[in-house]
Structure 1
Amino acid sequence: MKQPYDHSFHAFIQGIILVGFAMLMLHLILTGNIVYYIAPMMMPFIYFALVVFFLLGIIQVFRSTTKTDHDHHECACEHDHHIKGPSWVKTIIYSIFILPIVLGFALPDRSLDSSVAANRGIQLGGGGNASSSATENSINETGQNNNGSTSRAEAFLEDPEGYMENLTAQSGEEEHYQFEDIYDEGWFDDYYAELYEELMNNTVIEVTEDNYLDVMTVLDLYLDDFIGKEMEIVGFAYRETDFHSNQIVAARFAMTCCTADASVYGTMIESEESSRFEEDTWIYARGTIKKDHYNDQPIPVLEDAHIQEVEEPDSPYVYPSF
């Protein structure tokens, strides 16, 4: 005999799932571990989603406890809202939603590391080159420009009609975007020219979480002028397979929206101390800038650098300043 569909039970389970996702987001916010997954600019959307999920979940739970004479919950849309199939099918469907909640609470939160960097490729400098075939194109697989500041999605949002017209005109043709293509933009020249002057007047160039991508870009644009200046930087240790024993990279993941669009930027360091540090160890390095080449691309290198281990920063990622 076919079991009747229990609307109250399913409404209760669905409500618990919604509340569970809200509690998971709240947990990540309160512990501060949300920074491992979402850029700060996206936090308003997280707060909005938390409230909506919680309210909808409570409404669903409340509905599950309400009994009416018309208990079949029919509506005027003439569609069947039952979850079809035997009990084991329904269990699998609900498990797809419950499992991420359970794993979100059970598994430790951690930042992206060198294994991800090896797969995505690391950009040595501000984006003018990439040390892996995974980043040979100026537009990476997420659609983000290598300078980390402008994406195809942003271009579409700014001018949807213009973007689509340009896309149509280029249909059937291979796209060739270069980081240098934006050098002629007036805002770009003015912003980085001012930062260049500021950095040139500093005795030591301090690369911080706030100016990380900007400094990397300035070094790309004016590398010759910075040769001989001292610079200090913090990042996680990373090595390519063809590095020499005295070479290591202080790397950071740059995030625009979330971990899905994270790109890896780093500065090459040459020091006899390099071999002492394992990958993913957070390091502080201070050395003198020189110009070198890697994969036939000019890059800044810190030579004769002093390196020491440091604690992972509260915010392990860096973000575009505009």
Structure 2
Amino acid sequence: MAITLRIRCHYLLRALLLAALSFYIIHLNETDSLHYYLAPRMQKLLLLCPVPLLFIAIGMLWHTMTGTSEQLCDCEHPLPAGFLKNATVYGLFALPLLFGLLLPDQALGSDMALKKGIIYSISDSGLGREREQDDQPSQAAIASQTTGTTKSEPSDPNKLFIAKDIYGVEFAELAKRLYTLPVIQVDPSIYSETIGAIDKYKQAFVNRKISLQGFIVRQKDMDDHVFAVSRFLVMCCTADAVPFATLVHSPNVSSIKNDTWVRIDGTIQTAKVNGKEALQIEAGQIQVIKQPASPYIFTNPDSVAEFDKQHPQRK
């Protein structure tokens, strides 16, 4: 029995949606825009989808033109009936495609960072424990109380950086290596791990030189001479992105707007955030830079190995 015009229209619409989704994924890959939405390991999985989706779309298109309708084993999968139900089902696929095609591909910025809540410190129990709550201004006030203690003479890193538990071993090992650097360059490949290691042993790193990059974000209750330099930490996709930031103190920063990408060269100090001690950089130099090709940072499965790879002479 020949399939009806209504069924042909359903198959045609499904074929077009699947083909559009496949070509959109290909477009994001060709324009190097996948990193705006997915972590690297998830990008690899997504790139497995376009070819199978195209084959399915071609199969549906072929069935639209030449297929027949037969009921086997008294089984069938009825098509959705009614305009509202059809619009809902197909809209779930069509709307994301339309938004993706119409909206520009760009990185998350300071507005989203403030909405999500900025993280200034990493705890052993995970990232989510130290979030700022922007809807509670009284708790979000930042007291910029920079410590002025003088750094003691260098100690044995093996005695200075001791992990409290198995989960802190990687941070301790990375801290030992960072401690030997004359200037700590915060590399994007191990950004969160580097800041996390310094944060856990912040007193040992006070007055050490540091250089890092990020975009400027300010909270309403911040002092005029204090801002945060932030990067979004992405685990799987931008839906779970976490605004990861470090406080910066500088007397000459009021002219630099939010979302401006900067490179900060300065020294490590500490400050109070919600009554807790957090890292703060006393900026010696602030340089405006272009947004990096990959603006987000991602977790590294072995930050110590990555550090050793970047600094083979310090193994």
What's the TM-score once normalised by structure 2's chain length? 0.79
Of the three residues 108, 113, 116, the one matched with 1:117 is 113
Could you list the runs of 5+ residues in structure 2 that have no partner in the other structure?
137-162, 302-315
CA distance in 1, matches of 2:88, 2:131: 43
Q: Is the 8 A contact 1:11 1:61 kept in 2?
A: yes
Deviation string for 1:172-227 (max 9, x for gaps)? xxxxxxxxxxx6433632x2222112111111111111121111111121100101
Tell me which residue corresponds to 1:209: 188
CA distance in 2, matches of 1:80, 1:290: 65
CA distance in 2, matches of 1:53, 1:77: 29
Aligned partner letter, 2:93: F
Aligned partner letter, 1:221: K
CA distance in 1, matches of 2:279, 2:88: 53
CA distance in 1, matches of 2:36, 2:95: 20
Aligned partner letter, 2:95: L
What percent of counterpart residues are identical? 25
Residue 134 of structure 1 and its aligned partner are, at CA, apart by 7.0
Deviation string for 1:77-123 (max 9, x for gaps)? 5335222125x753554344223223212210111111111111111
Tell me which residue corresponds to 1:133: 133
Residue 13 of structure 1 and its aligned partner are, at CA, apart by 1.2
Tell me which residue corresponds to 1:186: 166
Q: Is the 8 A contact 2:264 2:283 kept in 1?
A: no
Deviation string for 1:267-301 (max 9, x for gaps)? 11101222111111111111111122111111111
Tell me which residue corresponds to 2:6: 6
CA distance in 1, matches of 2:50, 2:179: 46
Query: May I ask how many residue pairs the two structures share in their alignment?
Result: 268
Of the three residues 78, 81, 89, the one matched with 1:81 is 78
Tell me which residue corresponds to 2:27: 27
Tell me which residue corresponds to 2:277: 298
Tell me which residue corresponds to 1:176: none
Residue 240 of structure 1 and its aligned partner are, at CA, apart by 1.1
Tell me which residue corresponds to 1:250: 229
Q: Is the 8 A contact 1:126 1:219 kept in 2?
A: no
Q: Is the 8 A contact 2:122 2:130 kept in 1?
A: no
Deviation string for 1:28-57 (max 9, x for gaps)? 111111101100011222012222222211
Could you list the runs of 5+ residues in structure 1 that have no partner in the other structure?
137-182
Q: 4+ residue stretches of structure 1 with deviation over 6 A?
A: none
Report the more deviating stretch, 106-115 or 44-53: 44-53
Deviation string for 1:111-160 (max 9, x for gaps)? 11111111111111335763522799xxxxxxxxxxxxxxxxxxxxxxxx
SS in 1 for 2:213: strand
Tell me which residue corresponds to 1:264: 243
Using a 3 Å threshold, how does the CA distance of structure 1 residues 92 and 260 change in structure 2: closer, same or farther?
closer
Of the three residues 92, 101, 116, the one matched with 2:97 is 101
Residue 243 of structure 1 and its aligned partner are, at CA, apart by 0.6
CA distance in 1, matches of 2:238, 2:35: 10
Deviation string for 1:292-313 (max 9, x for gaps)? 2111111111114311211001
Aligned CA RMSD, in angstroms, stands at: 2.2
SS in 2 for 1:210: helix
What's the TM-score once normalised by structure 1's chain length? 0.77
Deviation string for 1:233-266 (max 9, x for gaps)? 1001011111111111110000110111111111
